[in-house]
């Protein structure tokens, strides 16, 4: 190995995992407590809010939230039940489904975004 020992590499990996856990847990706690959203739900809403026309293909959403296809499908079902998104069939490909942000979903995202950014600032900047 070049540039350091194997143990240095493993230590760096463990440090990265610990930092991720710290940030993720803080986000999960604050988003749930203040806005009733999980981190994955927030990330899905953020993708939709920043997408053209507030919509994206289901597969694109799966890639962003880093969940399996079945877990992402359950996530979308929860968001839909809560009135935050709608599922719409693609006109060009009837097998394709778009996930569309509702007005209520956009409002919930807008309300939660400052909390998300504040937690990121607090947890990422304190270690830098």
30: domain CATH number is 1.10.10.10
For residue 27, being part of any structural domain is answered with yes
- The boundaries of the domain holding residue 110 are 6-125
For residue 62, being part of any structural domain is answered with yes
For residue 1, being part of any structural domain is answered with no
Query: Number of structural domains, the chain?
Result: 1
Q: What is the pLDDT of residues 108-127, one digit of tens each?
A: 999 999 999 999 999 998 75
Report the Cα–Cα distance between both ends of the chain, in Å, rounded.
27
Beta strands in the chain, from DSSP E residues, in sequence order:
55-57, 85-89, 97-101
Q: Does residue 72 contact residue 89 with C-beta atoms inside 8 Å?
A: no
Q: What is the pLDDT of residues 18-68, one digit of tens each?
A: 999 999 999 999 999 999 999 999 999 999 999 988 888 888 888 888 889
For residue 52, being part of any structural domain is answered with yes
Measured CA distances, 86 to 15, 39, 114 (Å): 39, 19, 24
């Amino acid at each position: 190995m070049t540039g350091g020992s194997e143990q240095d590499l493993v230590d760096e990996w463990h440090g990265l995992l610990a930092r991720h856990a710290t940030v993720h847990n803080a986000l999960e706690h604050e988003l749930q407590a203040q806005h009733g959203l999980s981190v994955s739900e927030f990330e899905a809403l953020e993708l939709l809010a920043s997408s053209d026309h507030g919509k994206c293909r289901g597969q694109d959403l799966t890639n962003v939230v880093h969940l399996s296809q079945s877990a992402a499908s359950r996530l979308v079902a929860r968001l839909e039940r809560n009135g935050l998104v709608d599922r719409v069939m693609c006109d060009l490909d009837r097998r394709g489904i778009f996930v569309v942000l509702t007005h209520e979903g956009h409002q919930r995202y807008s309300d939660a975004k400052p909390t998300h950014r504040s937690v990121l600032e607090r947890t990422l900047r304190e270690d830098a």
